[in-house]
Every structure is written in C-alpha cells, then in structure tokens.
C-alpha cells in the first residue's frame, strides 16, 4: 500500500512540476485584433474562419472507433483459444458479441446510422 501511495505522490508532484514549468516558460501573447484574426493576405476576412462541423460525421467516426476497438479486442481472444477453457472462452466471446450487436441494433433503431439531413 505504501508503494502505491508513494507512486501516486511522485506522479502528482511530477505533474505539478511540469505544469508550473510550462506556465513559466511559455511566453504570454498579447491578444489584439490583428493577432486573433485569420490571415488573408492583409485584408479583413470576408466570412468567418470557422466552418460548421457535421455532427453526423462525428457520430459515424465514433462508431468506426468503437468497431475498430472491437477488432483489436477480438484478435487476442482468438490467439488465446488454444490455451484457455473452451466453455469460458466461448461464453466470453458470445457475451462480447451480443453486447456489440445490441449496441448496433440500438443505433440502427434510433436512426443514428442514417445519413439523411
């Protein structure tokens, strides 16, 4: 228990030290109109520099990450098939796949996978 506490204290102290050093070393920038405006060859910008972000694209990207992580979890499970109990391995795999299929069904029923505007 003492090793855990010491590790936690050291981690917090290193984090605090790094934050203090970064705030001391970083130079303060003067925020004025010229520095905060986007650069367009010296002219005032004609429109806002920020374009709207598609929330639907963000949701699809999150879904991709979830199913990508699924593959990264399932591949080592296939390798451990030789050395593990077949019943516990099959049960774990079925529960994992069932949860993923239920999540996909939920997203499909709520219309999260439709690309219409």
The predicted-structure confidence for 72-117, as pLDDT tens digits, reads as follows: 888 888 888 888 888 988 898 899 889 888 988 888 888 777 776 5
- Cβ atoms of 113 and 107 within 8 Å: the answer is yes
What Rg, from alpha-carbon coordinates, does the chain have? 25
Domain ranges, ordered by start, for the chain? 54-117
pTM: 0.47
Q: What percent of the chain stands above pLDDT 70?
A: 76
Q: What pLDDT shows up at residue 48?
A: 65
Q: What residues have CB less than 8 Å from 100, skipping those under 6 apart?
A: 67, 70
Of the listed ranges 24-38, 50-64, 67-81, the one predicted with least confidence? 24-38
Q: How many CB atoms lie within 10 A of CB 77?
A: 13
């Amino acid at each position: 228990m003492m090793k855990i506490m010491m590790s936690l204290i050291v981690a917090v102290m290193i984090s605090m030290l790094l934050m203090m050093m970064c705030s001391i070393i970083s130079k303060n920038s003067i925020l004025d109109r010229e520095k905060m405006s986007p650069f367009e060859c010296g002219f005032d910008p004609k429109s806002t520099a920020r374009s709207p972000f598609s929330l639907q694209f963000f949701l699809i990207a999150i879904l991709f990450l979830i199913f990508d992580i699924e593959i990264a979890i399932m591949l080592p499970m296939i390798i451990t098939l030789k050395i593990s109990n077949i019943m516990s391995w099959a049960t774990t795999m079925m529960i994992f796949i069932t949860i993923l299929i239920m999540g996909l069904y939920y997203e499909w029923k709520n219309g999260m996978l439709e690309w219409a505007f």
